[in-house]
Homo-oligomer: A and B are copies of this chain.
Amino acid sequence: MRNICMLVSYDGTAYSGFQTQPSSVTIQEKMEEAIKLLTGESVKITASGRTDAGVHARGQVINFLTSSQIPIRRWTLAINARLPADIIVNGAAEVDESFHSTRSAIRKTYRYTIRCGRNRDVFQHHTEYHHYAPLDVEKMRQALQYLLGEHDFTSFCSIRSTKQSHVRTLYAATITEWDESIQDIPSKRLVIEITGNGFLYNMVRIIVGTLLQVGEGKRHPDDFKTILLRKERSAAGPTAMAHGLMLWEVMYKEAVKFT
């Protein structure tokens, strides 16, 4: 059997998340259907991370085993011709049989985008969380610093998590501001980018939901230190809405060479 790996982008708006579940439309289901149309095989694909309902991906990585002999260069176009317009395969690679898109990942980056200003953006509202009132971005940056390094992220993890350990390491957490004002009407896009060795269930969304409270002045940046130490979900703020979140990039021990 060949082990095929693919670099996938999708707009999660219309889907009940990545993973197949009864009576709902998922990315996994659409991709497995496309592969079956192409190869005749019923494969089971594995993703680097299962994005939730409404969450997007720019650089999701999936893999599956197949006995199909289609040359690797032909996979991308062939699969794209069989996928809906909101899912696209950017590239494919044939990888070692030991490669597993979840377990072999060493580093992941998520982005959460906030539109800050009176008005929604008419072109990007499906990938941005709209926040009407101004946010203190400097204070949000201060709060994020407490999360860098190795910590037990239980406070920033859904109580539905089934993971044994909630210890993860964050390598970077930044906020970039873009001025998107239209004439005199102020508008900002804030992109929160977080890179770590792994993420827990709802972790980025809970971090962002708590960060918004800091930006609104409802919490002090130093609260992030205390929240981590409490190790209970109730210590943190609400879970931010799904549609602002995007799985941006996944890195592996040995870089996958997509074609």
A contact set with B: CB distance below 8 Å: 7, 9-11, 56, 58-59, 76-77, 80, 85-91, 118-127, 182-185, 249, 256-259
Contact of A182 among B7, B56, B77 (CB under 8 A): B7
Distance to closest chain B CB from A245 (angstroms): 13
| CA of A111 to CA of B58, assembled, Å | 25
Q: Are B125 and A7 in contact (CB under 8 A)?
A: no
Secondary structure at the A interface, as helix, strand, loop or mixed, is mixed
Q: Are A122 and B182 in contact (CB under 8 A)?
A: no
- 5 example contacts (A-B, Cβ-Cβ < 8 A) are as follows A76-B118, A88-B120, A88-B122, A89-B119, A183-B249
Name which residue of chain B comes closest to A80, CB basis: B119
| CA of A249 to CA of B77, assembled, Å | 38
Name which residue of chain B comes closest to A249, CB basis: B183
Contact of A10 among B7, B122, B124, B126 (CB under 8 A): B122
Q: Are A185 and B122 in contact (CB under 8 A)?
A: no
Distance to closest chain B CB from A93 (angstroms): 9
Name which residue of chain B comes closest to A181, CB basis: B90
Q: Are A123 and B118 in contact (CB under 8 A)?
A: no
Contact of A91 among B58, B90, B183, B257 (CB under 8 A): B183
Residue picked from A7, A10, A183, most chain B C-beta under 10 Å: A183
- Chain B residues lying within 8 Å of A259, measured Cβ to Cβ, are 184
Q: Are A258 and B183 in contact (CB under 8 A)?
A: yes
- Chain B residues lying within 8 Å of A182, measured Cβ to Cβ, are 7, 9, 58-59, 90-91
Name which residue of chain B comes closest to A9, CB basis: B122
Distance to closest chain B CB from A105 (angstroms): 13
- Chain B residues lying within 8 Å of A122, measured Cβ to Cβ, are 9-11, 85-88
Name which residue of chain B comes closest to A250, CB basis: B183
Name which residue of chain B comes closest to A125, CB basis: B85
Q: Are B59 and A183 in contact (CB under 8 A)?
A: yes
Known contacts A10-B122, A125-B85; decide if A258 and B185 are in contact (CB<8 Å). yes
Distance to closest chain B CB from A21 (angstroms): 22
| CA of A20 to CA of B210, assembled, Å | 46
Q: Are A184 and B80 in contact (CB under 8 A)?
A: no
Distance to closest chain B CB from A86 (angstroms): 6
| CA of A91 to CA of B184, assembled, Å | 8
| CA of A100 to CA of B167, assembled, Å | 63
| CA of A244 to CA of B247, assembled, Å | 26
Distance to closest chain B CB from A246 (angstroms): 9
